[in-house]
Amino acid sequence: MYSEIKIKDKKISNWINKELKRQKEHIELIASENYVSNDVLKATGSILTNKYGEGYPNKRYYGGCENVDQIENIAIERLKKLFNVKYANVQSYSGSTANAAAIAALIPKDGKILGMGLSSGGHLSHGYKISFSGYFYKSYSYDVDENGLLDYDKILEQAKKIKPDLIICGASAYSRIIDFKKFHKIAKEVGAKLMADIAHIAGLVATGLHPSPFEFCDVVTSTTHKTLRGARGGIIMTNNEEVAKNVDKWVFPGYQGGPLFHQIAGKAVAFGEALKPSFKKYQQQVINNASIFCQEFKNKGIKIISEKTDNHLFMIDVKQSFNLTGKQATEILKSINITVNKNSIPNDLESPQITSGIRVGTPAMTTRGFKEKEFIKLANIIYLLLSNYKNKKIINELKKEVKKLNDKFPI
Ligand SMILES: Cc1ncc(COP(=O)(O)O)c(C=O)c1O
């Protein structure tokens, strides 16, 4: 169980404790969030934040690194075991900086990148124009088809025309299996390097519940705080020694300074947890919950992007289903303590600030103990609310139901 913090700075502790209350009282459906264990929390909040140690274990530019060297080595070894991969870098401050370092390790500056478009479910760091990846590289994007599915033949055609130096696969909002083998074939055919960003599905990949990209990709990046349920940050992995050397150079000194050892310790603890059999059971429950949650909406005639889900998340077209924008739906759900995020959908006519969709995911509430029964209930609550968002009586009743459901699974 999480507890309130007591520090002398009342202004900050007040806001932290308010955030704790919010996390306790809200049903959390943001697909990229999770609740870390108390052990991860303690390691992350430890005195390791005091330590500087630019460089890598046994090759630091600072003294006094004998303890943090051990911690970083343990994190690396656990991560390698978790994904059955030869080389791992655990220092990236975030998923975006991991991607920056991984891209730089693979292709020259000004190189051509082909990544998944943002409104199709891709991430900013996969070549979007306002991110480093679209600014420092020549970037192009592939999109999903009219059914919201990756069309590998079409991506091949596009890749043949563009001749990218690098293809990026992986997504922030794609609910179906990603076929890394097919991406590998495309990359091979056009002579491009291949990078997979498994930020969202890392927990599923680690437990064998989503096909692994390692056999097919030059480099694999991820965040550590989504399905992987660790301290926030990025990781980069590869089976290629040359690529690994380049990655290390581009993480430090390329893009970063001193490693955040408190985060690395929090990652190491989480990797240890992920190596336990209970983690696979958790990931299976995440998938089972997402599948039934999604099906329940489909049964009510709600439009699901990409037809269904194979993983931990899915997107609802709230424009077509309820005549609401993503922004409106998010605010309405917030009013009864359900947290989701608005999300662009393929061919969205609304701006990314408004959107026509919402994205929902099951990792966080599965950590809190939700099973199929609770997600079926939740789908009904969401459906009733978005269909009757002007009816005060219904809103009040649903608010009570959410509280009852939420309070049964404390954090
Ligand atoms: C696929 C993917 N890659 C990278 C990132 C970036 O991670 P961070 O927010 O830690 O920079 C995200 C974040 O949502 C993501 O979904």
Using a 6 Å cutoff on CB, does residue 313 contact ligand 1? no
Whole-angstrom distance between the N-terminal and C-terminal Cα of the chain? 5
The phi and psi torsions of 55 (rounded to 5 degrees) equal: 110, -160
CATH topology of domain 42-274: Aspartate Aminotransferase; domain 2 (3.40.640)
pTM: 0.97
Per-residue tokens: 397: 């009743």
Is residue 215 part of the annotated active site? The answer reads no
pLDDT for 24 equals 97
Which stretches in the chain have pLDDT values below 50?
none
Tell me the per-residue pLDDT of 293-328, one tens digit each, with 9 for 90 and over: 999 999 999 999 999 999 999 999 999 999 999 999
Is residue 223 part of the annotated active site? The answer reads yes
Using a 6 Å cutoff on CB, does residue 93 contact ligand 1? no
Dihedral sign, CA of 94, 95, 97, 98? positive
pLDDT for 1 equals 87
Is residue 69 part of the annotated active site? The answer reads no
Tell me the per-residue pLDDT of 35-67, one tens digit each, with 9 for 90 and over: 999 999 999 999 999 999 999 999 999 999 999
Domain with CATH 3.40.640.10 in the chain: 42-274
Is residue 368 part of the annotated active site? The answer reads no
Percent of the chain whose predicted confidence (pLDDT) is above 70: 100
Using a 6 Å cutoff on CB, does residue 197 contact ligand 1? yes
pLDDT for 226 equals 98
**Peptide bond connecting 253 to the previous residue in cis, omega within 30 degrees of 0:** yes
**Site to substitute for ligand 1 among 118, 123, 168, most atoms within 8 A of C-beta:** 123
Distance 199 CA to ligand 1 centre (A): 6
Distance between CA atoms of 317 and 228, rounded to whole angstroms? 27
The correct answer on CATH 1.20.1270.360 for the domain covering 281-407 is: no
Domain with CATH 3.90.1150.10 in the chain: 281-407
Distance 95 CA to ligand 1 centre (A): 5
**Site to substitute for ligand 1 among 221, 223, 256, most atoms within 8 A of C-beta:** 223
Using a 6 Å cutoff on CB, does residue 32 contact ligand 1? yes
Nearest partner of 254 among 134, 87, 132, judged by Cα: 132
Atom of ligand 1 nearest to the CA of 122: 1
Using a 6 Å cutoff on CB, does residue 127 contact ligand 1? no
User: Are the C-beta atoms of residues 398 and 384 closer than 8 Å to each other?
Assistant: yes
Tell me the per-residue pLDDT of 348-363, one tens digit each, with 9 for 90 and over: 999 999 999 999 999 9
Q: Which residue among the candidates 60, 226, 303, 319 is catalytic per the annotation? A: 226
| C-alpha gyration radius of the chain | 21
Give the torsion through C-alpha atoms of 90, 94, 100, 104, to 10 deg: -10
Using a 6 Å cutoff on CB, does residue 343 contact ligand 1? no
Beta strands in 277-339 (DSSP E): 313-317, 338-339
pLDDT for 239 equals 98
Total Cβ atoms within 10 A of residue 407: 10
The kind and range of the H/E element at 237 are strand 234-238
Is residue 197 part of the annotated active site? The answer reads yes
Give percent helix, percent strand, percent coil of the chain, each to the nearest 5. Answer: 50, 15, 40
